[in-house]
Structure 1
Amino acid sequence: MDKNLKGIELMQAGSWEEAAKAFNDAIEENPDDPVAYINFGNLLAATGDEERALKFFGKALRLDENAASAYYSIGTIHYNNQDFEKAKEAFEAAMKKGLDNSDNFFMLGMSLVQLGNNRLALAYLQRSTELDPEDPDARFHYGLCLAEEGLIDHAILQFETCIQIDPDHADACYNLGVAFAFKEQPEKALEMLDEALKINPGHTMAEEVKNILTASMGNSNTEDYIG
C-alpha cells in the first residue's frame, strides 16, 4: 500500500506514531513529493504541534507552489488561533490554486464572518452548501449570516433545511424561532424555541426569548437575539 494512504488510515484510526512513521517513510522514498509533507503537517497539527506543522506545509509549498491543500491546512491553523486575516488569506490562496471543495469555501466564509464582513461571506457560505448540501453546519452558518444581513426569509429556509438534516441542532431551532418571532409569527416561534429547549434544556437564550414572547407576543426586541 502507498505510504501516504497507509498513514492516512492510521491517522483515522488514532495510531499517531505509526502514521508518523508511514509519512516519514513516504518522505524518505520521495523527498520531492509535497503530498507527504502536507500529510505529515496535518498529523502534527492534529496532535497540537502547530509550529512544526507550518514548517512542513511551507516545505510542501516550496516544492509545489500550487499545492492548494497546504494553503487550506495553513488557513485552518490560523483560524483555530483566531488570526482570521491570515486564515482568510490562506483560504483565498487555496481557492485560487484550484481547491474547489465545500470545506475551503466554508472556512473562507467563516473567516470573513469573524472579520465582520458578512456580506462578502454570504457568497462563500452559499457555495459551500451547494457543494455539500447535506452539511448541517454549513446550512446553519449560512442561515445565520443571512439573518444578520436582514434576509430573514432566506435564513428561515436554511435553518429549516439544517433541521431536516440534523433534527437535534438546537441552535438552528433557536434561530428559526427568533426568525419567526421577527416575522411576527409567535406560535411558530414558540414551537421552535420549545424544540430548542427540548434538545438542550440549558439553552438560556432560547429560554429568554421564550419568556419575552410569552410576556408580549411580537416584542420587537427579539431581533437582537439572532445568533
Structure 2
Amino acid sequence: MGTDRKDSFADGAQQAFEEWRRRRAGIDPTEPETAYERQEFGDALCNEGRIREAIIQYRKAVEMEGDNPSYHTRLGDAYAYSEMSVKAVAEYRKAIKISPRRAEPHYSLAEIYRRCGKWNAAVAEYRKATQYNAMNPFYRYKLGMALWHVGLRDEAIEQLEMAVQIAPTDGFYHFCLGDFYAQAGRLADAIIEMQQATIFSPRDPYYSFRLGLLYAHACYLEDAIAALRRAIKLNPRERVYHAVLADVYREAGNIERAELHLNLAEQMDEFDAANLAIIKRQAES
C-alpha cells in the first residue's frame, strides 16, 4: 500500500487500517475488496474510536451486499452509537425484513425503543429476540427489565429465572433475580439468590452489601453484620456501607461497634446521604 494512501488516514484510523491489513496478510489491495472486509475494517475503526470512518465502511458493505442482514445491523449499531436513532431504526428494520427470525436486529431495535421511552414497543422486540435466540441470558434479562418497567412483574421474574437457568454461574443474573424477588416481597427467595450472587461474584462489594440489607430486613442480624463487613473489606471507603453497618450494630446492641462505623460514615456527602435515605426506605418497605 502506497505512502499517499496511508497519509490520508488520521493516526488512529491508520493504525486500525494497519491492524486490518496485518490480519489480511497475503492480500495487498489499496482498500478492502469485499463487503466482509469492509465490515472488518469498520470494526477496527470502531475499536479506535473512529465511528464516522467506520460508518463509511459499513455503508459500503451494505452497498456491496444489501441482502445481508448482519451488515445492516452493524451499520444500525454504529448509527445508534452516534445518536442517529432514526437511521439506526431504518437499518434494523431492513435487517428484519431480510431475515425476520434473526434475533440481533430485534434486540438492537428494542434498545432504541427503550432509550426513547417506547417501552411497549421495546417489550415486543425483546420478546422476538428471546424467541429467536432462546438461550441468550442477556436477552432474557433485558426483556425482564422492560416487563418490570411496564408493570408485568410476574412475567419479568419468569424471564430472570430463565436467565439464571441458562447461566447458573453468572452472579449478575442471580443478583437481578434477587432484586426482583425483594421488590415483590419474596424475602426468602431474594436472600437465596443474593447468596448465589455473592458466591459466583465474590469480589463484588455491592452484592455483599445488598445481601446484608436483606439479612437485616429478615432480622438475621449476625448474618447481616458478616455480609456488610465483607462488603466493607472489599470497598472500605464506601461510607454508605459503614452507615448501614452502624445501624445494624446498634440494633444488635453493640453500641461501641456502631459508634466506630458511624464515625467512619460521618464524612458522607450529599449524594451518599441521599443514597442512604433511598436504601433505608427500600429496606423498610
TM (norm. structure 1) is 0.83
Matched, 1:176 2:176: no
Q: Which residue of 2 aligns with 1:149?
A: 184
Q: Which has the higher contact order (CA 8 A, sep 6+)?
A: 1
Where does the alignment leave 5 or more consecutive residues of structure 1 unmatched?
A: none
Q: Which residue of 2 aligns with 1:138?
A: 173
Q: 1:25 to 1:65 in 2, by over 3 A?
A: same
1 CA distance for matches of 2:198 and 2:54? 37
Matched, 1:201 2:248: no
Q: CA deviation at 1:140?
A: 1.2
Conservation of the 8 A alpha-carbon contact between 1:35 and 1:60: yes
Q: CA deviation at 1:208?
A: 4.9
Q: CA deviation at 1:28?
A: 1.4
Q: CA deviation at 1:69?
A: 1.1
1 CA distance for matches of 2:202 and 2:62? 44
Moved more, 65-74 or 17-26: 17-26
Q: 1:200 to 1:11 in 2, by over 3 A?
A: farther
Q: CA deviation at 1:71?
A: 0.9
Matched, 1:164 2:199: yes
Q: Which residue of 1 aligns with 2:129?
A: 94
Give 2:83's aligned amino acid. Answer: G
* Number of residue equivalences: 224
Residue identity (%): 21
Partner residue of 1:117 out of 140, 146, 152: 152
Aligned CA RMSD, in angstroms, stands at: 2.9
Give 1:54's aligned amino acid. Answer: V
Matched, 1:215 2:273: no
Moved more, 46-55 or 2-11: 2-11
Q: Which residue of 1 aligns with 2:283?
A: 225
Partner residue of 1:61 out of 96, 107, 110: 96
Partner residue of 2:113 out of 78, 99, 123: 78
Give 2:125's aligned amino acid. Answer: A
Q: Which residue of 1 aligns with 2:58?
A: 23
2 CA distance for matches of 1:117 and 1:174? 27
SS at match of 2:91: helix
Where does the alignment leave 5 or more consecutive residues of structure 2 unmatched?
A: 1-23, 25-35, 254-279
2 CA distance for matches of 1:165 and 1:226? 28
Conservation of the 8 A alpha-carbon contact between 2:69 and 2:94: yes
Q: Which residue of 1 aligns with 2:140?
A: 105
Q: CA deviation at 1:88?
A: 1.1
Conservation of the 8 A alpha-carbon contact between 1:170 and 1:200: no
Q: CA deviation at 1:141?
A: 0.8
Q: Which residue of 2 aligns with 1:188?
A: 223
SS at match of 2:237: coil
Q: 1:195 to 1:83 in 2, by over 3 A?
A: farther
Conservation of the 8 A alpha-carbon contact between 2:217 and 2:283: no
Q: Which has the larger radius of gyration?
A: 2
Q: Which residue of 1 aligns with 2:85?
A: 50
Q: 1:185 to 1:117 in 2, by over 3 A?
A: same
